Structures are given as C-alpha cells and as structure tokens.
Structure 1
Amino acid sequence: MAGTSFLDTVFRRKKKNSSDFITTGFLGTFEFDFETIRAATDNFSHVIGRGGFGSVYKGRLQSGEEIAVKRFLGSSTRSERDFSNEVEILSKLKHKNLIHLLGFCSKQDQRYLVYEFMPNSSLQSYISDPHRDSHQLSWEMCRNIVQGIARGLRYIHEESQLWVVHRDIKPSNILLDLEFKPKIAGFELARMMQQGESEGESTVIVGTIGFLDPEYMRTGRVSIKSDVYAFGVTILMIISRKRAYSSGDQELLIEYVMRCWNREEAIYVVHEVMREQEREDSISEILRYIHIALLCIDGNAETRPTIDTVLHWFSCCSTPLPEPTIGGRFLAEAETNLSFSPSLSPGHSSVMSPTSSRYGD
C-alpha cells in the first residue's frame, strides 16, 4: 500500500492523555486526540469547505484557538497517499504565505489534518460567489494577494531547498487571513523533486481543469513551470472575476483574454467594478499584470518565466516585458473534449492518465 511506511511512522505511537494534542516528535507536528477534534468541531457540524478529498470543518480548541479540520474521505490507497503526502510536505515547509499545519489525527480508517483557521475563507469565494460584495477586493488588495501567492511559490520552488511542485494552484487553494494576506493550501497533490531536478515524469495527470499546463497534459512531465501556468490563470481570474473553466461556457477564460489582447481590448478583461472604481494609474498596473499573466500561460514551458522573474516584473514596473506568445490551442481542444466521470466536476482536483482524457480514481 502506497505510503505505508510513512503512515506506520506517524500512527504507531499510542496516545497517553486527553490534552489537545500530543507531541509525536515527527517533523515537529502533533497528533491530536480524536475526541478533542470531535469536541472542537461540535461533532463536525460546521462545514466551511468541500473538495475532491472530503470536507473541511471549523472548530475551536479548549485553549480558544480556532482551527480548520480537513477530513479525508474513505480509506482508499489514494486517500492515504494524499494525507501522508500533505503531512510530510507541510511539516517541512514554513512560510508566511503557506498554510500552517498544526497537526493530524487518525481514527481507524479516518484521516484528519488540523490547520490554522483562515477567517476570510478562500480567494475563490470572492471570485465566484454572486452574493459576496465584489467591492471588498480593491486592486490594492488584489495586488497584495497576487504578490503573496508568488512569494509562497518562490519559497516552495527555490528557497525551501525541497523543490516542491504544488500541482494544484487555484483560487480555492488560496486562503485569506484576517488582513486578506494569502496562504497557499491544498498540498495533497504536491510533489517533492530531487535536488537539482527541474522536472519529473508522472504516470497520471493530477490537478484541476482550466489550470493544467498543456505540455504537462500532453507529456506527463511536471515541473515548477506547471505551477507558473496555474498562477497565470489565477491572476486572470482575480482580475476578471471569471471562472477558468465552465462546461457551459463557449470559451475558456484564457481564450477570452487572448482574444481581447489580440484586439488591443485588454481593458475588457478587467472586472467592471474594478474598471469603474480604480484610478488611471491603477488600471495601467492591472493591464501590466494581465500582460505578465499571459507570459505565465505561455504554451511552451521553456519560455515561460520562473516565479522569481515574475516577482521582479511585479516590483520593477519600468522593466519592459516581452511580447506574449498567444498559444495554448492544445489546452483549449484537450480540455473542451474531456469526458468527465459523473462524480467529478471541473472545480475539483482530479487524476487522469496522460494518454487518456477520461478521469478516474
């Protein structure tokens, strides 16, 4: 069974008291007692999120600290693998723009991860929820969110020395704290690369429709440039407040943006509220960010920038930008023709073979 040795290391220790958590000594993480988790979440009564992995619940420990508890569905090999992968990676990563993992819990075939609570939910809720006040995210807030995501990505790609590829960057995996500072979450699918390794092969394609690098979909070769691509799509979603992909839409978001760019009408990519409320200098900056996003979604991974380069472009507005290569036709054709399992949707992280368009377990 995948991840068995790791899980044995994590779960073999016995609980000895009923405190909020018990130090395991494994990478500085903590094993929570199940009854503590159940009491903190009021028997898992307050759902604050759902995904392909399961559900997330809000809770409060006896100490008063608010927490978020992710419960993984079932006891499948994939569920155990995703759980152990996230524990291992997040136990080794510490950065202000990454979610803080407080600990884990195992109860028979149930797996739980315990995180710090993020009061402003996910970035996705500000993009797609028609009942949420879109005025809440000014361009200044959006800029800070985009730059925070980029700093988090630079840390996992380069600065942490783990060379992690996230593989599922998207607005629902960007959580916002009380001050709307972003933290990257959703590390179930993340992959650690070998030192000096820039890319690796995958027997299955994992990620979310609309955010997948076309080269990765075609060849199964994953790299940090795959995250750059998804980051570019995320920037466009923040600016436009449009979904990356919807089975009912006539065109993908990137197709719409490319069409506007080619017609020199990039201003229409900007959400109408933002267009009306922001100053002229802010609009100019927003258009530059659209330009950078188009460079991030270059269909050729070799010419796609690194996150470090993107951060340089963000901070040095006088630096000229190369012209974007308007491509990605393979993405549009491949994703439009995907055949979905009834249990899956374009908004959920999924797995598929690089030689097949059908999603599965």
Structure 2
Amino acid sequence: MISLMKKIKIFMFCVILAFSAVFTLSLFFTGVKNANAVIVDQIIVVVNKTPITLYDFAKFDAVAFKNYENMQSDASRGIFTQSDVAIMSRTKDIINILVGKVLIKQEEKKAGIHIASEQLNTYVKSVAASNNFTEKQFFIFLKKKGIDKDAYINQVRDHFLELELLRKIYGNKIVISNKQMLDYYQKNIEEFRGEPMVNLKLIFLSVPPNAGKKLRASIYGKISKIRSMVVVGNKSFSELAKKYSEDPSEKSGGSIGYVYKDKLSPDFSKVAFKLHVGEVSSVIKTPFGYAILKSVGEKSGSFKTFKQVKAKIFSILEKHKTGEYLAKLLKKVRKNSYVKMLIAA
C-alpha cells in the first residue's frame, strides 16, 4: 500500500492550479471589504449554529460573488435578466459547497481528528524534494503562482483531515488496493501511452529584424526555390541543407533528430506532426525567418510501465472514491443537521 505521504503528491499540483484561480481575489477583495464591510459580514446560512457569511462566499469565489452583488444591485432597481438565472444557480451551488465544508469540519471535530504540524512539514519537504526543490525554493515557486504559504498548508491539512475522517468512518471501503490500480492500468492503458516523436531535418534562412518587404520577398523566394529543388528536382535535402541552411544543424545535413511536440516551437510543431515520413513541408514563416522541414521517421509513444504511473493511478482512484464516500457522508450528515438559509438561493 502506498504510504500517506506518497498518496497525495500529485494532489499538490491540483492544489497549485486551484489556488492560482482562488488567489486572484486578493486584489479585488480588499476593495470589497472596505466598500461593503456590513454587507460582506451578512450571514447567509447557519449550519448547526455555525454561520456562513458573504465574506466566506467572496473568499471562495470572487467572480461569482461579484456577479451576485451586481445581480442584487440590479434587483433593487427592478431589473432581472436571463443571466440572473445562471447567477442564482451558481450561487446555490456555492452555498451548498460551503455548507458541505462546514459539515465536514464539524464531523472532523466530533471524531477528534487532528493532523500534526510535523506531519504536514514532513509532507511539504517530501513534495519539494520530489520536484527537485529545496523547501525554500518550493515556497518561492508557490509564491510566483500567487499561492500563499499558509493557505497552501491549510489546504493540504484539510485534505489530510478529510481522508482521515473517511478512513475512520468507512475503513477499508476507501482503501485503494494494488489490484484495483492494476485493473485500472490494464483497462485504460491508452491513457499511459507516451508522447509520439518525429525525426526531422531542417533548412532555415534567417530574415534580419529590420528587413523590408523586398528583402523578405527575396529570402522567401530563395527558400521556395530550395523546396522545389527537393520536391520537384529530387535533390538531396541533406546536401541542400549543408549548402544553404543557416541553422547549426546544417553541418549534419539539417538533421534535428527525434523530438517531442512540446520541444518544438509552435510554428514547427503544428506542421511537423502532420507530415508523413518522407514528406517535405510548405515554407514555414517564423519570427526569425523562413524554414522547411522534412520528416524522416516517426515513433509512436511507448506505454509507461505500471510502476511509472502507479502514483498517478492512485490519485485518480482516490479522488473518485473519496468523492463518492464524501458525498455519501454529506447526504447522511445534512439530513440530521440544522441548515437554515437566510438568503434566497
């Protein structure tokens, strides 16, 4: 069984992506707080004596909160549009999510679940190390993504707490076995195919940054003629590359070798992977000049081994299973809880 510390390493990057969106509210929210302090503190739901306010709403989704504010402003003037239906639907969804979060927190407290700071620190260090960062570098990386250190740690803590709560309630039902992971791997093998590669040759002619239309047309005409010599005249691409190309690859007959799509510039990648072996591209315009490519080989992506993707599969299955049992728990808990809506949603 994969250890707890390994179980959510991939989760870190999900957190990063989620937080990149959430933390855009920091600039917006200061203004909201100052301008509408009374409104933002308004209680919108009570969950077993725990209040949820508009502040919580804004913190969870700044854009949805702003839309809700605008809708309320329009409603005060008797204006109601079709888009308000979608805004109310989104508002209801967010309130239900916030209610669910409070209910889970209350259940964690009842169960006496606690995650020690030392455990979180150890986890953060392991995530940093697995991504070739020191702990300091890792938090600098998060900061560049707009993610506050304390907020990130709190998000990870919440995830650990949820997992522990579900384990305590459902036991082995949420355990991911090696057999389940292997079954998923075998049934979804295409998900784990590596990226294809193409073997390319290149002829490149540079265009000076300050070149006028006449010079550009002349260089374009020259590379078009070179292409014709290959396609129509059956001349050797390699020999022409050695003679005319202004790329370092000219010494090897224009050979770039096997490359992945993401290793090529967008100008080349959108053309290169559409070529058949032996085919020569049309003239490609780049920010630096003109080029032609020739495909001389291709490799289908090989399948990654089960060992290579085991952690990823665990993350997929864990997300599915925890989501399933979390929904099951929330349905049961909410039925036995006091939830009072104080706004129409």
Range into which the TM-score falls when normalised by the shorter chain: under 0.3
Tell me which of the two structures has the higher relative contact order, counting C-alpha pairs closer than 8 angstroms and 6 or more residues apart: 2
Larger Rg over CA atoms: 2
Which structure has more helix as a fraction of its residues?
2
TM-score relative to the length of structure 1: 0.19
TM-score if structure 2 supplies the norm length? 0.20
Q: Which has the higher strand share?
A: 1
